[in-house]
Amino acid sequence: MSQHIIIIGAGPAGLAFARAYQSGAGRGAARITIIERQSQTVIAAPQPDGREIALTRQSVAMLERLGVWQQILADEAWPLTGARVIDSGTPFVMAIDAHATRGAARADAPMGMMVSNHIIRRALYDGLGFGSGHDNGIDLICDASVTGIERNAHGVTVQLDDGQAVSGDVVLAADSRFSAARAMLGIGVDMLPTGKSMLLARVEHALDHGGIASEWFDYGQTIAMLPLGPHMSSFILTVPHASAQHIGALTREALGDIITQRTDGRWGRCEARSPAHVYPLTMTYSHHFSGPRAALIGDAAVGMHPVTAHGFNFGLMGSVRLARAMHRSGDVANPAMLRGWGVRHRAATLPLYVATRSIVGLYTDEHVAAKLARRAVLRLGGTAPARALMSRLLSDKKPRVFGRLSA
């Protein structure tokens, strides 16, 4: 009897898993059903949402092997050559470049690539072959919400809001960091509301960025500028919710004025080239990544803070590795396989998640002691070993202490 995988959520993680499983499918491969709340029109042609993704070299390589990177046009991806961290009140800057990472394919290889979230989602959807005229092994149920999940020794049944029931062998929750499916599976989660929102806008600026991403920790705000093209960046402002909502409601002309002011002219005159998008910031880490006939992928497993830019990379890595584990096992619901994958994915994600929580706490604390500590950390980060370690983390090259656990 053929096997059946049910995925809840057609976001990047759900689509990436489907493509990874599909690409390695052979005789007797499981059929996949994807359940999504949005319409097929929306997921087939996603609109810009302000989010820009810093893909590591490893993520680009994964997408290439899946045939997805080839769906992204050359002018839709921008190389990331380095990063710098700035703390207000001190002239010292911690600089990280691609050359600090060992194992680069070429001396001039970038640290990663910047690609818009909606472009990656479109490429993942296109890579699945919907509308090609042949059966791709995937059924897509859109405009549907999950109301319940039942599991037993024989399988899993997912109840939908229209009364329909979908039965299968295993269910994957890929429905955001606030996953309703995770709760239905009885898996707990640690949540860290930051009390802040992230405002995003694409900006054109007078001074060039040189392909370098900047993270600037200032009093009462955190600013990031991510390179998207010549004199073009994604501006990211992290401030309390009310401030983000107020700034997000401004006209584009007024928004450009605010961005120029808040960046203190570091990039020259800035002009908004897109509407502002505002997202509340909450970090999440699930207590378990797997259970009987179930697994969590993407943000449902780990909801990262964007300061270390690894949310999408973790989601892609976990989805691809789970698909490979299922292929090796031959049984998509094998308890030992699901448990082993969950342990390895925790080992691969927990160190950077904990480090990110610490960074967020340190750099949003306005007390004098915290400010002094920030400067000490920044100075330490300026040493060659620290820069190499940070570069390995940001480029998804895990330090050796974590390598064996996460392989």
Q: Is-contact 213 82, C-beta < 8 A?
A: yes
Between the CA of residue 354 and those of 107, 241, 303, 395, 399, what are the distances in Å? 31, 24, 12, 17, 15
What pLDDT, in 10s, does the model give residues 233-247? 999 999 999 999 999
Give the DSSP H/E element, type plus range, for residue 217: strand 212-218
Q: Which residue has the tokens 């501006």?
A: 235
Specify the pLDDT at position 339.
Answer: 98
Specify the pLDDT at position 360.
Answer: 67
What pLDDT, in 10s, does the model give residues 340-388? 999 999 999 999 888 887 766 655 555 545 455 545 555 555 444 444 4
Which residue segments constitute the domains of the chain, with CATH numbers given?
A: 4-191+282-406 (3.50.50.60)
344: Cβ contacts below 8 Å, ≥ 6 apart: 321, 405, 406, 407
Q: Which regions of 50-186 does DSSP assign to beta strands (E)?
A: 52-56, 77-80, 82-87, 93-97, 112-116, 138-141, 146-152, 155-160, 165-168, 170-173
Question: How far is it, in rounded angstroms, from Cα 21 to Cα 174?
Answer: 15
Specify the pLDDT at position 244.
Answer: 96
Q: Does residue 102 register a pLDDT over 90?
A: no
Between the CA of residue 308 and those of 43, 213, 226, 304, 393, what are the distances in Å? 27, 11, 12, 8, 9
pLDDT grade, residue 271 (50/70/90)?
A: very high
Across 218-227, 337-346, 386-395, least confident range:
386-395
Length of the chain: 407
Specify the pLDDT at position 92.
Answer: 62
